[in-house]
Amino acid sequence: MPNQLASLLPIIAILLAFWFLVLRPARKRQTEARRLHSSLAVGDEVMLTSGIFGRVITLDEERLTLEVAPAVAITAVRQAVAKVVDPAPADSRADSSTERSDDHPDDHPDDPSDGRTGNRAESDDTRH
């Protein structure tokens, strides 16, 4: 009898490890997702699993409507919501749109001889 029990111990240990490493975390994620989907409210800024950001404008049992741009709305299922995000402050949106790059068209004057402009005209002239 003790031999039979000893031969079952590795199988029992593997099953327990599987439960702790796979099933338990999956159940926890599922519970958190249910909590997120049930707590959605009109006006929340959300990100869908596809990476689309928007503001919830209508909700029902299964679906929600998101405003993704002014006067542009899409409908999705509640389960497509990956997370609720904090809306970005207006200042940070303005700053990101006015970021400067190192390469500006004004840095490369037009080459009137062949009608081409910018980097292309300059790089071709250096080959001659």
pLDDT computed for residue 46 by the predictor: 95
Q: Are residues 48 and 84 in the same domain?
A: yes
User: 102-110: long-range contacts at Cβ-Cβ below 8 A with a sequence spacing of 24 or more?
Assistant: none
Domain extent at residue 51: 40-91
Alpha carbons 66 and 41: distance in angstroms, whole number: 11
In a domain? residue 59: yes
pLDDT computed for residue 118 by the predictor: 53
pLDDT computed for residue 53 by the predictor: 95
Q: Are residues 23 and 63 in the same domain?
A: no
In a domain? residue 106: no
Q: Are residues 6 and 30 in the same domain?
A: yes
Number of domains into which the chain is organized:
2
* Closest residue by Cα to residue 52 from 65, 36, 39: 65
Please give the average per-residue pLDDT across 30-41, as a whole number. Answer: 89
Q: Are residues 54 and 79 in the same domain?
A: yes
In a domain? residue 79: yes
Which carries the bigger pLDDT value, residue 36 or residue 104? 36
Q: How confident is the model at residue 48 (pLDDT cuts 50, 70, 90)?
A: very high
Give the model confidence (pLDDT) of 61-117 as tens digits: 899 999 999 999 999 999 999 999 987 665 555 555 555 555 555 555 555 555 555
